[in-house]
Structure 1
Amino acid sequence: MVAQIGLLRQQQGRTGTTQPLVGVAFEDGEVVISNLIRLGPSGSKMFFILLAFGSFWLVIQTIIAMRASLMPDRCIVIASDYVSIPPSLLSREKMSILFADIMDLALQADKRSRVLHIRHGAGTTKATQRFFEGRDNFEDFVVQLQAAIRG
C-alpha cells in the first residue's frame, strides 16, 4: 500500500509535459521523494522526527517574537538613584536597580550585538544593545551608568 504525501511542486519533463514532484511513503516505512531521494524505514523515521522538531522550533520562535512585539515600555531609564531595565521575555516586571546595589558592570560583545551585565545584590540583569536605536546610544548609556554609579 502506498500513501501519497502531497504535491510539492511541478517539474518540467523531457517531453515538455509537466510532471508532479511528489513524496511517497510506503507501508514498510520507506519514503521516496520524486525518485531522487530514497529513505529506508530508519531514515524516513529520522526525516519525520527532524521535520517535527523543525516545525516545533518555528512555532516557539513565532510565539517568542509575538510576545516581544506586544511588550510595552521597552526603554531603559536612568533616574537620580536607580536604573530601570524593561522586562525580559521571561519576566513581566521592570527591574529597578539602585546604584548603591550595583557591584559590577561587564560588557559582552559579539559581531551582532553587545550586552551589559549588571551584577547587583539580587542577581544579574542584562541590558542589550537592542533596547537602543543605535550603537552610539548604547555606548552613551554605558558611560552615563558608570558615571552615575561613581557618584
Structure 2
Amino acid sequence: MSEPRWLDAAQQRDWRAYVDGSVRLTEIMDRDLKTRHGLSVSEYEILVRLSEAPDRRLRMAELAENASQSRSRLSHTCSRLESKGLVKRDNCPNDKRGVYAHLTDEGFAALDRAARDHVETVRNYFIDIIDPHDLEAIGRAFSLVLKNLSS
C-alpha cells in the first residue's frame, strides 16, 4: 500500500479555510432563510431550480441531480414544500413511473420574497468581500471540481 499524498502546510491551510468557511456560510444562509422565510437552504435551492425550469417544473430525478440531493432526501424536502403549498407533484403523463415537481404560484411568490433577502446575505458574506479576480478564480476552480465529480 502506497503512502498517501499528504497536503503541505499551505494546501492544508487553504483546504481548512474552504471547509470551515463553506460550513459557516451555509449555516448563516440557512439560519437567515429559516428566520425570515421559514425555508431551509435545501428548500430554497429546490424553489430556485424549479423557477428556472421551463413551465417551472422538473422531473424529480432531474431535480435531485440539479439540487445536489439524493432522491430520498429530495422526496422528503418536496413533501415539506408541498405541505406549505409551494410545490405540487404530478405524475408524468407519458411515463407512469415518473413524477414532476411543479413550483406553484404561491411558491414563486415565496421564492421572490426570500431571494430579495438571500441575495443580500450572499453579497454581505461572500461576493462583496472577495476581490473580483479571486471570485473569478473561485468560479473557475469549482467549475473544474463539478466537472470532475460529474465524470
Fold agreement, TM-score > 0.5: no
User: Quick one: higher RCO (CA 8 Å, sep 6+), 1 or 2?
Assistant: 2
For the pair shown, which has the larger CA radius of gyration, 1 or 2? 1
Bigger helix fraction? 2
Bigger strand fraction? 1
TM-score (norm 2): 0.32
